[in-house]
Structure 1
Amino acid sequence: MIKSFGANLVRVRLWHNPTWTNYSTLSDVKRSIRRAKNEGMNVLLDFHYSDAWTDPQTNIVPEAWRPVVKYSDILADSVYNYTYRILGHLNATNLLPELVQIGNETNNSIMVADNADLIPTNYVRNTKLFNAGLQAVADFNRNNAKNIKTVLHVAMNPNDAMFWVANHKKYGLKEFDMLGVSYYPQWQDYTPAQLGEFASNLYSTYGVRLFVAETGQIWTRAWNDQNINLMSKMCIGYPNTPCPQLQKDFIVEIKEALLANGGAGYCVWEPFWVSADNQTLWGVGSNWENVAFFDFNNNLLPHSGIEAYGDFNVKVTFEVNMWNAGSETKGYITGDFTDDGFGNWQIIPMKQAAEGSSVYYFDTYLCRNQTGKYYFLSDSTWTSQEYIGGYKQDRYYNVNTSDKWQKFAKNFGEE
């Protein structure tokens, strides 16, 4: 499905020996990689080096390696041999990934016996373990005439991520190709424009490209089960009005920021995690159905984040001069692109073009040749809808340009 919208990469998680689930085992990973390869897509293999989830709050060493967790040289040898062996096995079955991620959201100490050992970060030990994984990929590439790219991964704001790289470089971190980041408005409080600055700074400082390994934006704050949703915040600078269109806008802005600043690409996580009756570590259902690309009936949401993969999006500016409504009146907009995913239009505040200006605008990314309806309002209530020719009526838009930007400019209450 995502390939049909323009995606070309699948990111697959590998746990070491997850006895508690049948997911993310080697056999499960092979099944997923085979599906991706059959569709002609590239694959990023994410080595967690754990038997379960790893993130900034947990990074437990695989049980098989627990006896050597205090012996970093032996543990590094285990990392090297395991990484090399997995790549060799995948190569033999024509399932070799194009990218390998060494660890997942490795903000703090990695492969620890207990999460109490995560902080303070042991940069010396971390570097030794990262280097073991990086060397395994480098040796595999050399011995097999391959060119697998390497990714390290953190869930941090830009300044903290730059500090993280610097501290590991200080202790001899080997070269790697990309720094993966998790970029979620719930936990990383910066804009896509700042992401672009981060990408440029990272490459100019270290020659490393920025890869958004995980991202997502909510389309609703509603729930479809009793499993607590993890995300509720909108990205900074966005209207506090979740909808599928704003989910798409966020992902498109990430894509554009990376393209303009030498970034490597992005993956959305996890757009297919809809509510179901399956059991997870956190309960029955999904913690993420309000971030998925699907409505609560498991139908693909119209004009949601899945459209960001394509090259058919046009930046559309809706502009209104509110002078006719009074010099102090602000601009608001509604339309089919504000649909909340349940068939209801929402009112979104517009941005003022300049201090003291009566002109307001709203930017969004619509599909080329998309048509629809909208109108302006003078406040955040439905009774403030503009009258055009003495009547309340919809305006119409038609994104009929071959360019990447189109503007619809009107005076409030006029044709």
Structure 2
Amino acid sequence: MKKIFYFLPLFFIVFHSTLHFGQAFSKGADVSWLPQMEATGYQFYDADGSKKDCLQLLKDRGMNTVRLRVFVNPNDDKASGHCSKDETVAFALRAQKMGFRIMIDFHYSDSWADPAKQNKPAAWAKLPFDQLAQAVYNHTFEVMTALKKAKVKTEWVQVGNEIPGGMLWPDGSTDNWKQLGILLNKGYDAVKAVDKSIKVIVHLDEGDNNAKFRTFFDNATAQNVKYDVIGLSYYPFWVKKDYTETIANLAFNLKDMVNRYNKEVMVVEVGGEYDKVQNTKELLEATIKAVKNVPNNKGLGVLYWEPQGEKSWSHYSLSAWLADGKPSPALDAFKEN
């Protein structure tokens, strides 16, 4: 009896610790296309052929987080529009009710913002800079307040999406770091005014490119930019390399960002080729390992970008879904890690 008595508490401690740290690490996806996929009649199926809610399929594969983008005044294009405040709040509430943690990604544009384009919303196009900065604050505050009123507990917010060259061009370009710093701080202040516990992310592409990250965040530091987490995209495909050639650089950069700026880090976008299932699974396993290996639990998580965005619907080759509407086995990497 004594052996059983001592074994059970030890088992409970180990089990409880595993459960706790498993929940602490974020595994998930940006699934912002999903409502429009459903609206156009796309059907999702489990491996056994049974019809299922896509969010449940992702949850079954170990995901616990969803990331949702917000556009300012989007059009109704199924792939490059939608993601308005009201749509985002409704979707966030749905995901939260299924147990998902929530990240919000502000593009500060009417459609995609990324390293190649950071277009102002049409309604902000002619604003003088001080009014543009206030518009960033007001838009951020309005969306975050709507989420709070809906009782959505947002855990992370991105102020800008892939902004190595800045945002809201030309005013917030990295050619004018003083103004970019003001815009980023306006977004930060608006988030914290609604909920101080939300972690604010600043996000760049090419997560394996240490020089790009040092240049940007050295400048951010000089401008006293306020943020909590450094967000990284990691897509070996876009730099025409296999992950085996770049994963060591990602691992180095993650640790360097933590050491150099004393911030947490998170891979907020990752993706592999939909038709190279094993390679994409190994890419995900390696990425998760790299983030988990960041010292002192400062590697917060890994999020796939639109895994459910099957190519026949989205024309996107880095989804992780099969042509028959079933999840790619590559996503098992989240379940196994």
Length-normalised TM-score, structure 2: 0.75
1:172 to 200, 217, 224: 224
Within the candidate set 269, 288, 291, 2:318 is matched to: 291
User: Per the alignment, do residues 158 and 136 of structure 1 end up closer, same or farther by CA in structure 2, a change over 3 Å counting?
Assistant: same
Q: Does 1:108 align with 2:133?
A: no
Count of residues in Structure 1 that have an aligned counterpart in Structure 2: 269
How many Å apart are 1:195 and its aligned residue? 1.4
Alpha-carbon distance between aligned partners in 2 of 1:112 and 1:59, rounded to the nearest angstrom: 6
Give the distance between the partners of 1:58 and 1:24, measured in 2 at CA. Answer: 18
Q: Which runs of 5+ in 2 are unaligned?
A: 1-56
Match in the other structure for 2:262: 207
Task: Return the alpha-carbon distance in structure 2 between the equivalents of residues 120 and 207 of structure 1.
Answer: 22
Report matched runs for 1:12-91 at 5 Å: 12-21=68-77, 23-68=82-127, 71-91=128-148
Q: Distance in 2 between matches of 1:59 and 1:256?
A: 32
Q: Which residue of 1 aligns with 2:333?
A: 308
Partner residue in 2 for 1:252:
285
Counterpart of 1:179, as a letter, is I
Aligned ranges 1:366-381 → 2 under 5 Å:
none
User: Matches of 1:121 and 1:61 in 2, distance apart?
Assistant: 16
Do the aligned partners of residues 209 and 168 (structure 1) sit closer, same or farther apart at CA in structure 2, a change above 3 Å counting? same
Contact 1:72 1:128 in 2 (8 A): no
Q: Secondary structure of the equivalent of 1:191?
A: helix
Q: 1:166 to 1:61 in 2, by over 3 A?
A: same
Q: Which residue of 2 aligns with 1:140?
A: 194
The structural deviation recorded for 1:201 is 1.0
Q: Deviations over 1:111-143 (max 9, x none)?
A: 126xxx88663211111100100111222225x
Work out whether residues 124 and 168 of structure 1, in 8 Å CA contact, stay in contact via their aligned partners in 2. Answer: no
Give the C-alpha shift of residue 20 in structure 1.
Answer: 4.2
Distance 2:138 2:318 in 1: 37
Contact 2:172 2:183 in 1 (8 A): no
CA drift of 1:96 comes to: 3.7
How far apart are the structure 2 equivalents of 1:185 and 1:99? 25
SS in 1 for 2:195: helix
CA distance in structure 2 between the partners assigned to 1:78 and 1:105 by the alignment: 20
- 1:221-260 correspondence to structure 2 within 5 Å: 243-260=276-293
**3-state SS of paired residue (1:86):** helix
1:29 and 1:74 map into 2 onto residues whose CA distance is 25
Alpha-carbon displacement from aligned partner over 1:179-202 (angstroms, at most 9, x marks no partner): 111110123566223212211111
Structure 1 position 36, deviation (Å): 1.0
Counterpart residue identity of residue 207, structure 1: N
Aligned to 1:186: 237
Give secondary structure in 2 for the equivalent of 1:101. strand
User: Within 2, Cα distance between the matches of 1:259 and 1:120?
Assistant: 31
CA distance in 2, matches of 1:82, 1:210: 25
Partner of 1:410: none
SS in 2 for 1:137: helix
CA 1:18 to 1:168, structure 2 compared with 1: closer, same or farther past 3 Å?
Answer: same
The answer for the alignment partner of 1:226 in structure 2 is: none
User: Tell me, what secondary structure is at the counterpart of 1:264?
Assistant: strand
Question: 1:196 aligns to what?
Answer: 251
Q: Aligned residue for 2:304?
A: 268
Q: Give secondary structure in 2 for the equivalent of 1:121.
A: helix
The alignment partner of 2:304 has SS state of: coil
Structure 2 counterpart of 1:309, one-letter code:
F
Which residue matches 1:217? 272
CA distance in 1: counterparts of 2:134 and 2:190, whole angstroms: 10
CA root-mean-square deviation: 1.9
**Greater Rg, structure 1 or structure 2?**
1
Amino acid in the other structure paired with 1:150: V
| C-alpha separation in 2, matches of 1:269 and 1:63 | 26
Q: Contact 1:219 / 1:247 at 8 angstroms: preserved in 2?
A: yes
Matches within 5 A, 1:120-135: 121-135=175-189
Residue pair 2:172, 2:179 contacting (<8 A) in 1 also = no
Q: What is the deviation of 1:107?
A: 1.4
CA distance in 1, matches of 2:172, 2:178: 13
* Contact persistence 1:219–1:246 (CA under 8 A): no
CA shift, 1:271, in A, is 0.7
Name the amino acid aligned to 2:144.
L
- For 1:20 and 1:34, the matched residues in 2 are separated by 21
Whole-angstrom CA distance in 1 between matches of 2:318 and 2:112: 19
For 1:55, the aligned partner's letter is: D
